[in-house]
Structure 1
Amino acid sequence: MSRRHAVTAGCVLAITALTLAAAPADADLRTGGPGAAEPLVPAVLSATKTPGTPSGAGTPGVTVPGGARAVAPPPGMLEALQRDLGLTRAEAEARLLNEARLIPVAEQMSRRLGVRFGGAWLRAKTAHTLVVASTAAADIPQIVAAGAQAEVVATSLAELSAVKAKLDATLPPQPLVSSVRYVDVKRNKVVVLAPRPDQTENIIESSGLDQAAVIVLPSTEAPLPLYDLLGGNAYYINTVNRCSVGFSVLKGTQQGFVTAGHCGRQGAPTLGFNRLAQGIFQGSVFPGSDYAWVATNAAWTAVPGVDNGEGGTVPVAGARVAIEGASVCRSGSTTDWYCGLIQQRDASVTYPQGAVFQLTRTSVCAEPGDSGGPFIAIDQAQGVTSGGSGDCAVGGVTYFQPVGEILTAYGLALRTTAGNPPPPTTGTCTGYPTTYTGALAAGRSVYHPRSVYYRAGIPGNHFGCLDGPAGADFDLYLQKWSRSAWRVVASSRSAGPDEKITYNGTPGFYRYRVVSVAGSGAYTIGLRAPSPLSVRSGS
């Protein structure tokens, strides 16, 4: 019996009334048909409410003449139509009503005209005009009677489709010859987009096709296949090793995903589950921690979801940390979907390659290849798979790297169902295992941790985050002891109060210096070292 489980969410739609004002006509007139001032056919709107739903809430349902029931627009559709088509809300509502009214008419005319049918399309800003094409002028009266405008064309839709099929079989599969081909019913042509039209036209001329039905247009369009970045899916490093996608992230507008650091080093290329080029490791830490992030190319889309191993997707709504004893599930490219409990936090694990600190221990099983995959509690991202013992046949223990630390370290934003939040700012020093607070007067400085220093016993990354007072100019320096003196090995000196340092260093003694260049006030500093802070006294 499968031990995989799906997480689903449901919602109840409240159906309410919608008042619709007729939009101004903006038809482009052609042969025959109604005039530009053709009014909208009125729609009968349901006023059924879900009990307990406030008046005016919910999504409208529409019944168009003839009894057809139009599907209520999903939440956000009207807003997106306004944004992307430059419509007012009334125009967006009118467009949806007209589409519900006229698309069934187009389907009916396609059946009636049969082999003479030349295609149909909607025209005007609110789609209130339907155009139906035919190869026979005798069809104009019945097209007009159906409430559409008529056009007489030379080639039927069936003939255009046949020409395109021959083109698909004739043109070589090379983007330079033809990047795109499609039937354009408004042009009554098969359109070929090509970066080198002359070369393409020569091939068409020698093929024996009906050239009158084809038009070649110059184009730089170069489509690429698009794939979703889904947590738990496989990816390949340097074409050989396999790991699992963690969670989709954004860094500004750059899309990518987080994963385990031991999967690949900075600069390593990745291939997706389909073995097509995917991205490049932008940063990687292991040991000490076990995290990395990969920036992907334009063929891949970061989505807020995790593969549940059964063909479904678990939504990622946020990254609220689940407490010990909470259930948690993991997705991976080797074993798919398994669940268990969060047992302990702040676990240190010694792998053959070195120690990793501040992991979370779980009773979830995992196997090689699951590394980097996501741990999720209901719909909240928890972390990425690091390592463990046992397997999914007999059970095991698996550790994950908390996701908050990864987002903070690289300034990433988790892709969630709530939208695309901005990446963390340098002034938000959250997700750091050690934080200190204090206050500085103008021109003064202080050392941390606690005016002393710490020892890093292994090589790895040092992270420092300073959140200073608004309006001030605070700087941050990382110093390392070198035989007889402290030397600055990294610094962050912007004109503002907030700073961030990431430094990859060798074992030794380190300290941070906070300096007030201008202004005064309270500050917070967050620190993370390759190993847990071992604070030493002295200066």
Structure 2
Amino acid sequence: MRHSRGIATGAALAATALTLTALPSIAGAVTSSPTDTPAKTSAETTLTAEALRAAEEMPAGALKAMQRDFGITAEQARERVASEYRAGKIAPVLAKDLADSYAGAWTTGDTSTLVVATTDPAQAPAITETGARAKVVEHTLAELEAVKAGLDRAAEKNSTTAAPVWYVDVKTNSVVVHASDTAKARAFAEAAGAGSDLVRVVKSAEKPRPLYDLRGGDAYYINGSGRCSVGFAVTKGSQQGFVTAGHCGRTGSSTTGYNRAAQGTFQGSSFPGNDYAWVATNSNWTATPYVKGSGGANVTVAGSTQATVGASICRSGSTTGWHCGTIQQHNTSVTYPEGTITGVTRTSVCAEPGDSGGSYISGNQAQGVTSGGSGNCRTGGTTYHQPVNEILSAYGLTLKR
């Protein structure tokens, strides 16, 4: 169904959106006087043009995602973005002019109609004249934010799991608290001095947790001490994790991430003979198809086709970052003090301690994980990587891409 208020009627909507006489500062921002029609028309035209441009310049990925997630057409998505752009420009001006009576603003409906709340009924006609919908409520935004700030302070003093989420909800003109145990949540709110007329407790099974990305080249720590680097994010059925060097940890060793947050456990490890391992991570971590590249920019992994001898190859590690060189030989055997490993690839890329396990990538194709070598990244060196396809095959893993 085509929307009746959108880009097709953008000029008409903008023409009413900033025609305000009851609130002088908005009128002043648009026109020098209530009868200065040319200046007002110019401002309205500018706003309409900006809204249309914002809609037309939407990234293709965002446009596609809106169509998918909202179940709308591309035209309807652009209409919505244009309306929301105008709302975003108008709402702050209304907030300033309503001052102490302002109680928040939001958009609603398929056409993203702007709704502005106020505690002063006398301001409703002026809000309506802007093209927004007025809603008269009991509490100002400042009152609600003061209550939330009280809950914040209470949580800082005594951390609580009784109420995992709370926020100012301008739509219901209240502070909403989510909790599985509503009685404990109410007790928490009362202890913080939040009146029951301002706080609404909602029963919820929500259990927020931090979310971290698995990215090749980032650091991780083994058993709380030694440091290595993530190779590539992988999946095994519904389990997520990453591949790395076997000498970094033994099966059963625990890991924490670059941020020292609990991360996972080594599910398998082989060294010497081979130098590979994989770590299964907990639900706080999400596998991504990325390797940390030059300057921290992400390089997207598209596959794991092995590059030929002589091809360029780059390595990402938590000690020395991003360095490149060439593939010198495949199927190399190298002996470390701990024993000999076979089937690794020899490269001219430098590496240093802590880079172990990190990603080797040629173009957008994953190649392997850093094993060891000689030299350093100041004077140059030779390093070896364990081919990634062997690791995937050994443990039945799928490369995240």
> Shared topology, TM-score over 0.5?
yes
CA distance in 1, matches of 2:275, 2:237: 23
Aligned with residue 3 of structure 2, among 10, 23, 42: 23
Letter of the aligned partner of 1:65 in structure 2?
T
Aligned with residue 164 of structure 1, among 136, 148, 153: 148
Q: Is the 8 A contact 1:22 1:94 kept in 2?
A: no
CA distance in 2, matches of 1:253, 1:78: 29
CA distance in 2, matches of 1:414, 1:264: 21
2:112 is matched with which residue? 128
Task: Report how many aligned residue pairs link the two structures.
Answer: 364
Match of 1:217, SS state, is strand
Offset at residue 199 of structure 1 (A): 2.3
CA distance in 2, matches of 1:101, 1:203: 39
After TM superposition, list the pairs within 5 Å mapping 1:388-403 onto structure 2: 388-403=373-388
After TM superposition, list the pairs within 5 Å mapping 1:141-160 onto structure 2: 141-160=125-144
RMSD: 2.3
Q: Does 1:269 align with 2:236?
A: no
2:9 is matched with which residue? 42
CA distance in 2, matches of 1:85, 1:385: 44
Letter of the aligned partner of 2:129 in structure 1?
A
1:381 is matched with which residue? 366
Per the normalisation by structure 2, the TM-score is 0.84
Match of 2:85, SS state, is helix
Offset at residue 326 of structure 1 (A): 2.1
Match of 2:115, SS state, is strand
Q: Is the 8 A contact 1:22 1:40 kept in 2?
A: no
Higher strand share: 1
1:65 is matched with which residue? 48
Per the normalisation by structure 1, the TM-score is 0.63
Match of 1:317, SS state, is coil
1:412 is matched with which residue? 397
Aligned with residue 138 of structure 1, among 122, 139, 156: 122
Offset at residue 40 of structure 1 (A): 6.0
Offset at residue 367 of structure 1 (A): 1.5
Offset at residue 41 of structure 1 (A): 5.3
Greater Rg by CA = 1
Match of 2:2, SS state, is coil
Match of 2:81, SS state, is helix
2:22 is matched with which residue? none
Letter of the aligned partner of 2:48 in structure 1?
P
1:490 is matched with which residue? none
Offset at residue 174 of structure 1 (A): 3.4
CA distance in 1, matches of 2:188, 2:95: 33
Aligned with residue 346 of structure 1, among 331, 342, 345: 331
1:198 is matched with which residue? 183
Letter of the aligned partner of 1:179 in structure 2?
P
Q: Is the 8 A contact 2:6 2:79 kept in 1?
A: no
Higher helix share: 2
CA distance in 2, matches of 1:261, 1:206: 52
CA distance in 2, matches of 1:79, 1:336: 35
Q: Is the 8 A contact 2:6 2:83 kept in 1?
A: no
Unaligned runs of 5+ in 2: 12-45
Unaligned runs of 5+ in 1: 1-20, 25-37, 45-62, 417-539
CA distance in 2, matches of 1:388, 1:160: 61
CA distance in 1, matches of 2:7, 2:68: 23
Offset from partner CA, 1:79-115 (integer Å, 9 cap, x none)? 3223323334444343223223332222332232223
After TM superposition, list the pairs within 5 Å mapping 1:253-402 onto structure 2: 253-308=238-293, 310-402=295-387
Match of 2:384, SS state, is strand
Cα pair distance change 1:404/1:42, threshold 3 Å = farther
CA distance in 2, matches of 1:266, 1:318: 27
After TM superposition, list the pairs within 5 Å mapping 1:197-236 onto structure 2: 197-236=182-221
CA distance in 2, matches of 1:178, 1:233: 33
